[in-house]
Every structure is written in C-alpha cells, then in structure tokens.
Structure 1
Amino acid sequence: MAKSRLKGFQVAVLASAALFGTGMVVAQAPAPASVHGHANDPAGLPLKNTVVEFAKDHSGDFKNIKWVYKFTTDDNGDYKGTDIAPGDYFIALAQGDKSIDFVESSKFVAGQDLQVNFDLTRKEYIDKMTPEEKAQLEAYKKNAGAANEANKVIANLNATLKTVRADLAAAAPHHDDVSKDVTSMKSAVDAKPDEGLLWITYGETLQAQGDHLAAADRAAGKVPTSDDDVMKNYTDAAAAFKKGADLMAASKKPVPADEAVAYNSIGNTLAKAGKIEDAQAAYENAVKLDPTKAGMFYGNEAAVLFNTNQMKPALAAAEKAIAADPTRADPYFIKGQALIGDATVDPKTQKPTAPPGCIEAYQKYLELAPDGRSAATVKEILAGFDVKIDTKYKAGKK
C-alpha cells in the first residue's frame, strides 16, 4: 500500500512540473546579419552590375559551387544585402561564370552589418596579373583617365551654360552688362571648340553685350553703328553663330531646324550692325533650312528692312511672311506701312485714297493683334481714311 501511494505522489509532481513549464522562455533563432561594400576594378573605377556571391562550401569547380546568397553592385560599384544567416562564408566577386576576386573566409555574427570590399587596385591583385594583362591595364587606365577628364569638362560646361542662360534672361529686359558671360563662353569654346551649341551660346552673349553697349550709346545720343566696340561685338556674334551652324551641319546627325535658328540669329545680329544685305542672305538661308518657320524668318527680314526705311524690299518680305504664315500680325502692319506712302488724294472730294491691299492689311493686323503695340497707330490711320473699325476685334487668349 505504501508503494502505491508513492507512485501517485510522483505523478502529481510531474503534472505540476508540466504545468509550470508552460511559462518558461523558449530559445529564439539568431538574428540575421547584413553586408555592404564596394567593388572597383584595377584602374580604380567602379565595377557596376557585378555579382557578389556567398557560399558555405567552395570546393571543386567554380561553376559548380552552390551559392546561397547573391547581391549585385550598382552603378557606383556599391552593394548591400540582408537576411544573412550567421556563419562563415566564402565570398566571390564574379562576372558571368568567372570569378574576379574572392575573400576566403568572412564570419558573420547575428545582428552584425559587415563591410566586405573588393579593391582590385591592391598590390596583391596586380602582382598576379600576366604581363599582357598589366599592359592592357595601363592602356585602360590611360583611356579611362582621359574619359574622366572629358566628363569633368562636359560637366563644367553644362554648369556654365546653365549660369549663362540664366544671366542672359535676367539681363535682356534692360540690356544689362553681360561681359562676364562673354568671358565664360569664350573659355567654354576654347575648352571644347567642336561643340556647336557652345558657339551658339557664345554668340548670344556677344550679341547681348553689343545690345548693352548700343543702349548706352543711344542714351548718350550716339549712333551705335559708329561705336567700334558695338560693331565688334555684333560682328563676333555673327561669326560665332556661323561657326555653330557649320559644326551642326557637319555633325553625324545634323538637325536643319537648329541650323536655321542659328542663321536667323546671324540675320538679327547683322541687321543690328547695319549689314542689311548680309542679314537678308542669312534669313533666306534660315528659310531653306527650315521652311516650316518661314513666316518667322521672312517676318524678321521684313522688320529689318522696314526699320531701315527700305519699303519696297520690306513689302516683298512681308508678303512672303504672310504667305508662309498668315497668323502673324506684324507682317500685315509692315505691309500697310509700306503701301501707305502710295496713298493719293481724290481731287474732287479731297479725301485720301489708300492703294489696293493697304486698308485690308491694317484691318487684318487689328484682327490678329487688337491690343498690339501698333494697334493705336493703325486705328489712327484707318480713322483718317474714314474706315470704320470693327469692334469685334478682341485680344486673343494669352
């Protein structure tokens, strides 16, 4: 009987132990580790899109190794990886099925972020290269160095272009001094003389500086075309635009529309310099290169001729501008002004009579630009001919 009671006591104790055991701490899996690093080639340049592989066992042929983790470097040669189980790993840097470099043993501890770099410029790596590989490396470093320098130049030029364009936009309303930008762009074309865009921008700075000096001359009662500095800026600007146009034409993929813009700029600049015939030739070249913008180019030609009081050629250019693009207002005004000089007076009524097409040109101008800069002049002229002004004309949406 005593033995039986002892057995029952042991069962009760075991049951009690099982009951208390439900509150005990259960062991958890170790936290994963992580890795980050950088890889560069023997020339010191980033190795991008290169695989960093982890293996527990690296015996046998490289192609047959069982890789447990793989991470890829980015464009900067950097990589990172997470969720790596703690342990000792063989880590290889590979491209395709070829190992470039490796780390024999890297121990990862739970929760640790380990840095593993692959620097192929190290002496130990270079020493293992064959003479042919070393020769190739030196050639590669030379070419890569030249490419890096070229990239630096381009980056600097892009920064210069951005600054100069901002300066030109800010200076335009008041014809401010942009001599510093002229200097900047001269350095730019000296640094890369085969880039058409740089020459075009250089031309823009010279033209803007010419405008600044010309504005000062007019304020002082001086004729700008008699100022050698003004003329030099305009002449140099036209030459820079022409250089840019020629480079664009000689490029692998020439864009005639861009060349046309350059010739339009040549025309505008030469006109300011008083070289009207040369300006006309530039506008005609612009039309040939980009007929889709003939209305603008012929309109500029008409304005240049009109401003120099050459009415017959101005009328011809205005007619061409209207034919190419009948939606532009200014050519109609120039046409009207070029014709108004031929107005006559009726001997019986003593009323003025406008030549054919004159009144219609003025009316079309008001239709297209009711609030244009010449609208007041046009209204006054029409009133002098007893022409009723159509009040339906309204300013277009801006």
Structure 2
Amino acid sequence: MKRIGWKISTLAAALLVILAIAQPTRLKAQAAPPAGTASIHGHILNPAGLPITKGEVRLTTDRSSDAKDRKYPYKFPIDQDGNYKGTGIVAGTYVVFVFQDDKSLDFNESVPIAKDEDKLLDFDMSRAEYISKMSPEDRKALEEYKKKNAEVVAGNAKIQNLNALLTQARADNKAGNYDSAITAMKQATETKPDEGILWVTLGDAQLGSGETAAKAAKAAGTSPTDPAILQKYTDAAASYKKAADLNAASKKPNPETAGVAYNQLGQAEARLGDAKASSDAYEQAAKAQPEKAGMYFFNEAATLYNSGKLTEAGAAADKAIAADPKKADAYYIKGQALIPQATVDPKTQKIVAPPGCVEAYQEYLELAPDGPHAADVKGILEGIGAPIKSTFKAGKK
C-alpha cells in the first residue's frame, strides 16, 4: 500500500488560534448514537502549549487518495476550551487530523477504535517531535512568542503585586497605620519607580506620619518642629514632587494625578513653613484641574490659615471665592484674615473693620446661616457694631 506523506502545517497557522476570540459552542439536540458504534474525545494544545479553541478533528480511512480529494466521514468541532468529542463512529483504524481553516495542523496516522469504545486521543503540538519538524523560521517565531508571553505573564504578576501593595497602603493610610504604608509604598516605588500614583500614596503616608508625630509632640509638650518631624514633611514633599514630575513627563499626563500631587505638596510645604512654595503648589493643582480650582484654592486658604499665615490665607480665600462664589468657608477665612487689621476710631472709639471684612462675614452668614462658624461670626459683627442682615433663614432641621 502506498504510504501517504502527512504534512505538518506552519507555525503561523498553529498559533493563529491564540489570538482568536473564543465563541460559545452552539448546542444542538443530538440523536443517540447507533448501537455498536464508538466515540472519541480529547484535548488539543498548540506548539506554545496553549489550547486550540477553533477548528475540528476529522477522521478518515482513506489513505490512497490525494489530500485534496480525501473524504472525511467524521468531523467533530473543537470547543473554546480546546476539547472535542464525537460519537457514532464505526469500529476501525483511522487517521485522525486536527484541522483549522481547512489546513491540517497535526495528525495521528493509525488510531484503532473498537466497537462501543470511548477513545481518548489528545494532540500536543508542543512535543519535541512536532517542534523538530518545524522550519527554523517557525521555531524562531515560537521561541519569540514564548519569550514575549513569559514577559507578559511576569508583567501581569508584577502589576497585580503593585495593585495589592497600593490597596493595602491606602487602607493603612486611612487607618492611620502610616509606617506600614510607608514600607509597602517604598517597596512599590522601588519595583516601579516611574508610576506617579505610587509616589502620591507614599507621600500621603509620610505626611500622615509627620502629622501624627507633630500631634504627639504637642501633647507631650515638646516641639512639633523637631528635625525628625520636619524630615517626615520633607520626605512627603519630595514624594509629591516626584509624582508630579513623573506625571508631567508621561506620554499622557493625568490631570487628576497632577491635581492630587500638587494639592498634597501644598500641605507638606505649609507644614515646612514655606508659604510661597505651598501657594505655588496649590496654583499648580488648580491649573492642572481647572474644574476643581475652587477646592484647591480653598485648601490653600485653609492650610495657610491653620498655619497662622493670615495674610496669605486671605489672598488664597479670594482666589477660592473667584473660582467658587458659593464656598461659604472661604468667606469665613477671608473675614478672619482681615479682622486682625481692625482699628479703633480715635474720635468715636468704635472698631473699624478693614475693607472687605464685614462683607465677607455677611456673605458667610448668607450662604451658611446655620454653619459651624455662624455664631462666632454674628458675635464678631455685633462686637464691631456691624449690621447683621435680617433676611437670614434657619436651615431645615
């Protein structure tokens, strides 16, 4: 009997299925297989060791005709998991092929199937025998694919680890476990030093650690500006700057990352006593996210106010009001920043508030008649003899 030369297909065809989108197998009602027939099933792997998810398995006993004229009495589809199965096969010895897009990928030349047997026949194209028959070009392409795939797998694992560290650090920051967050984010930034959001989270942990240390120092009666505490703020500022610089240098800078980084940098610089650097940072935050300028300018005003820098806080409050005229607390800060400049009229001995002060307090009451500072503001206005508008309405309780 003439021996037929079964040709192994190219790697390109074998790997094509890797990129194919898996489609759900259509289920059809199947009639019971004829009595006395056999069945077959198995799993199919391509040269890269991945399941083939497209194609069919064909069986034939036709060994004499040309490939193009060969008849295949049995054809069974390969499912999305790389499995196939078929029934109703008459007992015999078959050549079993794996086909994809009418191209033969692999075959088994002599497969005996007995009556009533459920034949298991797997195809593993990553076997050495199969690989050895591939062309040098195909083998090179396979190795390059394996290398790339390994890099992708390693990259995904790295990203998953970074995400886990980031999630844990954010939870630790929220819970006040700043040392733990610092440890996690230092590991993360060492692993991927070019990711801005990691530096933001590290900065948050360092800033939180500084705030905690400063609070403890005040409670203990020691200096909150101890060099060790200031170093925490310095580290936080450096991390925020790193985040902002990395984001700015990226192909697609993220406005939100920039806004958050500069906003937090403003806080750190204020803790270090550098009012100008703090204001510059908040300006950058507002520039990065104009739609949130009111919030960033208010944060600037509040940070400077809490640091006792009233003149700078008043200027920032003006910017916050210009960006968001409905921000009640910005008017309060403006009034508080101006009231120390009040003088006493030598003739009337009445207190004279500086320009804009009374108006700021009155606008606060207009916007927040039941606000947390409402009682204090009314007391100040009464104390300086300024009118309190009678149009205020109590808020809903």
Q: Same fold (TM over 0.5)?
A: yes
Distance 1:313 1:270 in 2: 14
Task: Tell whether 2:193 aligns with 1:186.
Answer: no
Q: In the alignment, which residue of structure 2 is the partner of 1:55?
A: 58
Distance 1:58 1:249 in 2: 67
Distance 1:106 1:367 in 2: 93
Q: 1:384 to 1:133 in 2, by over 3 A?
A: same
Q: In the alignment, which residue of structure 2 is the partner of 1:195?
A: 195
**Secondary structure in structure 2 of the residue aligned to 1:99:** strand
Of structures 1 and 2, the one scoring higher in RCO (CA 8 A, sep 6+) is: 2
Of 279-288 and 371-380, the range deviating more from structure 2: 371-380
Cα deviation, residue 156, structure 1: 0.8
The code of the aligned residue for 1:57 comes to T
Cα deviation, residue 247, structure 1: 1.7
Q: In the alignment, which residue of structure 1 is the partner of 2:19?
A: none
Cα deviation, residue 163, structure 1: 1.5
Q: 1:180 to 1:110 in 2, by over 3 A?
A: farther
Cα deviation, residue 338, structure 1: 1.6
Q: 1:86·1:107 contact (CA, 8 Å) conserved in 2?
A: no
The code of the aligned residue for 1:85 comes to T
Q: 2:240·2:264 contact (CA, 8 Å) conserved in 1?
A: yes
Distance 2:144 2:210 in 1: 48
Q: In the alignment, which residue of structure 2 is the partner of 1:322?
A: 321
The code of the aligned residue for 2:393 comes to K
Q: 1:190-214 CA distances to partner (integer Å, 9 max, x unpaired)?
A: 1111222222222222222222222
Distance 1:288 1:265 in 2: 14
Cα deviation, residue 270, structure 1: 1.4
Q: 1:157 to 1:122 in 2, by over 3 A?
A: same
The code of the aligned residue for 1:196 comes to G
The correspondence for 2:88, drawn from 86, 89, 114, is 86
> Unmatched 5+ residue regions in structure 2?
1-30
Distance 2:244 2:275 in 1: 20
Cα deviation, residue 39, structure 1: 4.4
* Structure with greater Cα Rg: 1
The code of the aligned residue for 1:191 comes to T
Q: 1:199·1:243 contact (CA, 8 Å) conserved in 2?
A: yes
Q: In the alignment, which residue of structure 1 is the partner of 2:154?
A: 149
The code of the aligned residue for 1:268 comes to Q
Task: Tell whether 2:223 aligns with 1:220.
Answer: no
Q: 1:47 to 1:295 in 2, by over 3 A?
A: same
- Taking the TM superposition and a 5 Å limit, the aligned residue runs for 1:1-398 are 29-30=32-33, 38-44=43-49, 46-47=50-51, 50-57=53-60, 60-61=66-67, 68-73=75-80, 78-80=81-83, 84-87=86-89, 92-103=97-108, 105=111, 117-171=122-176, 177-228=177-228, 230-345=229-344, 350-385=349-384, 387-388=387-388, 390-394=391-395
The code of the aligned residue for 1:231 comes to L
> Unmatched 5+ residue regions in structure 1?
1-27, 172-176
Q: In the alignment, which residue of structure 2 is the partner of 1:14?
A: none
Distance 1:287 1:260 in 2: 7
The TM-score with structure 2 as length reference comes to: 0.77
Q: 1:352 to 1:64 in 2, by over 3 A?
A: farther
Cα deviation, residue 267, structure 1: 0.8
Q: In the alignment, which residue of structure 2 is the partner of 1:19?
A: none
Q: In the alignment, which residue of structure 2 is the partner of 1:12?
A: none
Distance 1:267 1:223 in 2: 22
Cα deviation, residue 95, structure 1: 4.5
Q: 2:56·2:100 contact (CA, 8 Å) conserved in 1?
A: no
Q: 1:99-155 CA distances to partner (integer Å, 9 max, x unpaired)?
A: 33345548598796x765443322222222233333333333333222221111111
Of 117-126 and 195-204, the range deviating more from structure 2: 117-126
Distance 1:108 1:334 in 2: 91
Q: 1:291-345 CA distances to partner (integer Å, 9 max, x unpaired)?
A: 2222122212222332333333322221111001112222111111122123344
The TM-score with structure 1 as length reference comes to: 0.77
Q: 1:65 to 1:346 in 2, by over 3 A?
A: farther
Cα deviation, residue 346, structure 1: 5.1
Q: 1:42·1:121 contact (CA, 8 Å) conserved in 2?
A: yes
The code of the aligned residue for 1:209 comes to S
Q: 1:222-264 CA distances to partner (integer Å, 9 max, x unpaired)?
A: 2322241x22222112111211222212222222342122111
Distance 2:197 2:148 in 1: 26
**Secondary structure in structure 1 of the residue aligned to 2:194:** coil
Q: 1:369 to 1:362 in 2, by over 3 A?
A: same
**Cα RMSD for the two superposed structures:** 3.3
The code of the aligned residue for 1:368 comes to L
Q: 1:38 to 1:343 in 2, by over 3 A?
A: farther
Cα deviation, residue 80, structure 1: 4.7
Cα deviation, residue 348, structure 1: 6.2
**Secondary structure in structure 1 of the residue aligned to 2:296:** helix
Distance 2:42 2:325 in 1: 65
**Secondary structure in structure 2 of the residue aligned to 1:54:** strand
Q: 1:136 to 1:54 in 2, by over 3 A?
A: closer
Q: In the alignment, which residue of structure 1 is the partner of 2:26?
A: none
Q: 1:280·1:301 contact (CA, 8 Å) conserved in 2?
A: yes
The code of the aligned residue for 2:378 comes to K
Once the two structures are aligned, what percentage of the paired residues are identical? Answer: 46
